[in-house]
Amino acid sequence: MDTLTVMQKVVPELKDVLERRYTILRAVRTLGPVGRRNLTHELGLSERTVRSDLDILRAQGLVLASSEGVLLSPEGEVVLARLDEMARKLHDVAGLEAALGEIFGLQRVIVVPGDSDSDPSVKRDMVQVAGEYLRSILRDGDILAVTGGTTLAQVAECFPGESFNRRVTVVPARGGLGEDIRIQANTIAVRLAEKLGGSYRLLHAPEDVLPCYVEQILREPRIRDVIALSKRAKVLLHGIGTAEEMARRRGLDDDTTMGLIARGAVGEAFGYYFNAKGEIVYSTSSVGLRLHDLENISKVVAVAGGRSKAWAILAVLSTGRCHVCITDEGAARRVMRLKESTKTEGGVTDDHQDWD
């Protein structure tokens, strides 16, 4: 019986407090020097609670308070790292990582404890470890291709560390999509390039262009160049979306959407819709990286979390095109269960409800 288990048995009240402070510490780590109210708003806790906890953490020397906000002390970082370890052990994410890697033939899997769907702070963790992973693999002169999406946007936003300063070129792998500027591949490329201290290129083209115009657009030199660049990328960082959500975001009409669903589309990545087996069900006549271009990219990194995305992740990983997957525990566990089920009976009944 584990030390932590024993504690929880003897002092069950501990759990709440420990988890709350762990969340606060993680938020402080990610959000750098941050104010009390900002944290409050970010974590959805009450101001007073956050304050009391911060007072205690400060008294314990884990966080430092300055005029620009609180931030982790060196000791706090050590303690937090140990808490991370403990959480990983408690949830056995290492086992999950190994299992997922085995099933989908991945080079590397990183699973963050928790579930982005029920706890927003988990998503911050996930995108931050994605950032750290990027830091660890990018070298001078590398080209990094990125797609759009809320997750990718957050990766760019929360990219950790100050001066990376490797001469990396960031290029969008896809054209523009939807109205929200914050989650465009272009915007993300810019933000990431800033954080990385590298340069970027923009893809001045919409993603969903009518087929007859595609060829014409591809003749544009500035567009052609950027696409050519993205095909030579060393790393592709892409998100994964559920088929429904992406269809909605692309503004597909109801008929097309129904058709997608009917053909079993559950996941989307870089313009392609896949069914649970990883087969292409539909692809946008799109401007940008094509699926077969991935063969020349040495690291295709998927980032997505939240148990609601499990089907989508299952679909995309099943393509066998990804090398690395960064996700969270909630998604990973459900992906595992789905994989088990589809293996034996080819389908799962009613797995769309949200368990706890």
| Chain contacts with its own copies (rule: CB under 8 A) | 1, 3-4, 6-7, 9-14, 17-18, 21-22, 25, 56-57, 59-60, 62, 75, 78-79, 82-83, 86
The entry of DNA, its own copies, none that residue 79 binds, CB within 5 to 8 Å by partner kind: its own copies
> 208: burial class by Cβ within 10 Å (0-12, 13-18, 19+)?
middle
CB of 354 within 8 A of CB of 308? yes
Calpha distance 251→182 (Å, rounded) = 17
Task: Locate 130 and state its tokens.
Answer: 């994605």
Phi and psi, residue 302, nearest 5°: -100, 135
Task: Locate 123 and state its tokens.
Answer: 């998503």
For the bound state, the minimum distance from the C-beta of residue 328 to its own copies, rounded and expressed in Å, comes to 22
For the bound state, the minimum distance from the C-beta of residue 118 to DNA, rounded and expressed in Å, comes to 19
Among 30, 69, 128, 237, binds DNA (CB under 7 A): 69
For the bound state, the minimum distance from the C-beta of residue 43 to DNA, rounded and expressed in Å, comes to 12
The entry of DNA, its own copies, none that residue 18 binds, CB within 5 to 8 Å by partner kind: its own copies
For the bound state, the minimum distance from the C-beta of residue 2 to its own copies, rounded and expressed in Å, comes to 8
Task: Locate 36 and state its tokens.
Answer: 């009390």
Among 1, 59, 66, 349, binds DNA (CB under 7 A): 66
Among 47, 75, 225, 340, binds DNA (CB under 7 A): 47
In the chain, where does DSSP find H-type helix? 3-10, 14-30, 36-43, 47-59, 74-91, 93-104, 120-137, 150-157, 185-196, 211-219, 221-231, 243-250, 254-262, 310-318, 329-345
Q: Which is nearer to its own copies, 57 or 173 (CB)?
A: 57
Q: Verify binding: residue 13, DNA, rule CB under 7 A.
A: yes
Alpha-carbon distance values, 122 to 22, 114, 117, 136 (Å): 11, 6, 8, 21
The residue range among 58-66, 114-122, 237-245, 256-264 that interacts with DNA, by the rule CB under 7 A, is: 58-66
Q: Verify binding: residue 135, DNA, rule CB under 7 A.
A: no
Among 49, 107, 285, 296, binds DNA (CB under 7 A): 49
Q: Which is nearer to its own copies, 10 or 262 (CB)?
A: 10
Chain positions 81 to 120 lying near DNA, rule: CB under 7 A, are none
3-class SS string, 238-306: EECEEHHHHHHHHCCCHHHHHHHHHCCEEEEECCEEEECCCCEEEECCECECCHHHHHHCCEEEEECCC
Q: Which is nearer to DNA, 43 or 243 (CB)?
A: 43
Residue bearing tokens 């009390």: 36
The entry of DNA, its own copies, none that residue 11 binds, CB within 5 to 8 Å by partner kind: its own copies
Give contact residues for DNA (rule: CB under 7 A).
13, 34-38, 46-49, 51-52, 55, 58, 65-70
